[in-house]
A and B are shown apart, each in its own frame.
Chain A
Amino acid sequence: MFFFSKLSKLEIINVGVKVGDKRVVQDVSLTVSQGEIHAIMGPNGSGKSSLAKAIMGHPSYKIVQGNVLLDGESILQLSPTERARKGLFLGFQYPVEVSGVTVLNFLRASYSAMKQGGKEDVKVQVPLVPFKKMLSEKLQLLGWNEGYSSRYLNEGFSGGEKKKSELLQLAVLQPKIAILDEIDSGLDIDAVRLVAETLNKLSGPNLGLLMITHYKRILQFVRPHRIHVMVDGRVVLSGGPELADELEEKGYSWIEEAEEQE
């Protein structure tokens, strides 16, 4: 049967994004399929995070041009809730703290929401016991102890713990396509390695990854199939993994200078 199952695909087509009156992304096109790893690199303020938020449906980041398709259908009219339930995931650069809500309860609600599919008005609650079993397997995968799941969501977490929390959510929710916004920022090199190891465990034929990063270092541990370089809201360069090394060597200014010469 599995020969006939279609791969999920996120198609970003000529997308332009505005925040208020300001144009922050222009003419960006790229396609991520299940099983692939893509990276968007670029200097600060190049529009990477804005693109990620807009794709997930953040109300302040409006897509004013182009289209975004998930499995061939436009998601522009869908709420973030519906996008999530269709299998899209955004790992936040700055995960929000939610006091009084335990990781366990939150993830159970979230996991249940995914099970009920695109419709918002259908309510399903997955049974607690099997869910806890699944959660503890995922915790093990991340090398976290059980006690973690009774902590309040992201509250009082260190920078590293917050990133790990995003990865745990990724592991539990099992989206088809995940965008990870600077999952490596603010971490020391050991922590980056740990994050990368986890990502390698999670990636596979069922997950399409779009990693947004400012630094190259994580790409030493997670090798992307494609790298896209964004400058000033546009993708100015796309290539294979070797592009990361070139950037490391020459810096972003190399591209910016090349741009100016054009």
Chain B
Amino acid sequence: MSNVREAVNLDYSKYGFAMPEEAVTRLDKGLNRHVVEEISRIKNEPQWMTDFRLKSYEAFVKRSLPMWGADLTAIDFNNITYYIRPTEKTTKDWEELPPTIKATFDRLGVPEAERKFLAGVGAQYESEVVYHNMRKELEEQGVLFSDMDTALREYPDIVKKYFGTVVPYNDNKFASLNSAVWSGGSFIYVPRGVKVEQPLHAYFRINAANMGQFERTLIIADEGADVHYVEGCTAPVYSTDSLHAAVVELIAMKNAHIRYTTIQNWSKDVYNLVTKRAFAYENARVEWIDGNIGSKVTMKYPSVYLKGKGARAEVLSIALAGAGQHIDAGSKILHLAPETSSRIISKSISKDGGRATYRGQLLVAKGARQVKSSVKCDALILDEKSRSDTYPYNMVNEDDTVLTHEATVGKIGEEQLFYLMSRGLTEEEALNAVVMGFLEPFTKSLPLIYAVELNRLIGLEMTGAVG
């Protein structure tokens, strides 16, 4: 299992990329066939991946922008750098970061060493012990865990077998874009019957900063396997380019369980357009836990295709849309087999003119008997300028489906604030208490450290302390 060891090696400069020294480190802005080929060449990829990238590029060019959801017309695809050698990012100076981002790190209490890393300016992260222990445990269990580029080199067969099977290269414009130019992301394979006890997250916190804007993640839980993966972090992710288009593919085999937790806090100029999809086979269970705090625009609908009898899907998401933000998020569940069940809980907060949209699609296919599904959308609107919408689309083709849909829209009223203030809380504390209470079903599903950070972050967002 030396591969795993290599993958979690903390020497950042050696991390994960097969790159000859003389290789160019940064491609010109804009996208064309040549750029795609160059990316593949620099990474020394097998021919099938080069071909995959090229056909994805063609699909991207042909596809128009989605005609629904958020306004994406301002994205200038020619003004984006599609490949940057990761080491280059580390040369940025801490002092050059925008003051708002630095201040947020301070307020979040992120340790000095870690914050530099998260901001993409540090080179080392001093937490070897944690990783050493995790590494050893994973090795013993036969778990494959590496970044995607390494996986393509080290486990070519398994990657080739599953890559692009859950989210096809031509699924949507941004999935095509990702398929053409992807870099970084994570690869996890959990063997049959193996249960990974600890959430795989600390590792990723390091990875988050250098994975770039087009990461590609593939997680396979073999029969009876169990894994919880956490991506992203509460610290703001500063990026020089304003487009983030990731693809995440999950495969949960028979009786397997995957929980995938995301907290994104992209800086407020980023278009965050992510395709996340899972296949769940017989009696498998997939959970998406999805928190969206940052970005200018987010469009993200974690989906689960329930392909085997008795499979279950759960999606729990929150969105906080502040000034200038439009978070268009939701979920898509396809019940393709009998006795499958799904549960969606979506909570959104809009404030200072922000807009939060819930968009959900639910399909019960012909032949999928005895399906159960519940959808609950709660929106909290903090002021008159802000907006919340709910768009549920349900297509049910079997008459014994049990489907419940519940939606609430609330406003924080004068009465609620007055009540809490009359108990000695300041107006800010009162507002915070109401908001955190509203989000409680989400935060309690997070690993403790993340819950604490998220509470702190939302506290900052609420008081306007974050720029």
Contact = CB atoms under 8 A, between A and B. Distances in A.
Given A81-B421, A84-B424, A114-B424, A100 B439 contact: yes
B397 interface: no
B155 interface: no
A56 B434 CA distance: 20
Given A59-B418, A98-B416, A113 B425 contact: yes
A100 B437 contact: yes
Contacts of A81: 421, 424-427
A169 B436 contact: no
Interface size class of chain B, counting residues whose CB lies under 8 Å from the partner chain: 20 to 34
A84 B416 contact: no
Interface size class of chain A, counting residues whose CB lies under 8 Å from the partner chain: 20 to 34
Interface in A132-152: 152
Interface string A99-114: 1110000100110011
Contacts, number: 78
A100 B421 contact: no
Given A81-B426, A109-B425, A114-B424, A95 B419 contact: yes
Nearest to A79: B421
Contacts of A59: 414, 418
B415 interface: yes
Interface in A143-167: 152-153
A100 B436 contact: yes
Interface string B179-196: 000000000000000000
A36 B416 CA distance: 30
Given A96-B415, A96-B416, A98-B416, A84 B437 contact: no
Interface in A164-223: 169, 173
A92 B415 CA distance: 10
Interface string B427-443: 10100011011111100
B34 interface: no
B241 to A, nearest CB: 37
B423 interface: yes
Nearest to B419: A96
A120 interface: yes
A60 interface: yes
Nearest to B443: A100
B419 A84 contact: no
A233 interface: no
Interface in B283-332: none
Interface string B15-37: 00000000000000000000000
Nearest to B425: A113
Contacts of B426: 79, 81, 113, 120
B424 A56 contact: no
Contacts of B440: 99-101
B418 A84 contact: no
Interface string A67-100: 0000000000001110111000110100110111
A61 B24 CA distance: 69
Contacts of A109: 425, 429, 433
Nearest to A107: B423
Nearest to B347: A100
A58 interface: yes
Contact of B424 (A53, A58, A85, A96): A85
A100 B224 CA distance: 34
B431 to A, nearest CB: 11
B450 to A, nearest CB: 17
B80 interface: no
Nearest to A169: B423
Contact of A101 (B414, B415, B424, B433): B433
A59 B424 CA distance: 16
B87 to A, nearest CB: 42
Given A99-B438, A99-B440, A100-B439, A56 B422 contact: yes
8 contacts: A58-B414, A92-B422, A96-B419, A98-B420, A100-B440, A101-B433, A110-B425, A113-B429
The 4 A-B residue pairs with the shortest CB-CB distance, nearest first, are A100-B437, A100-B440, A113-B424, A101-B437
Given A106-B423, A120-B426, 7 more contacts: A80-B418, A83-B422, A84-B421, A96-B415, A98-B437, A100-B438, A109-B425
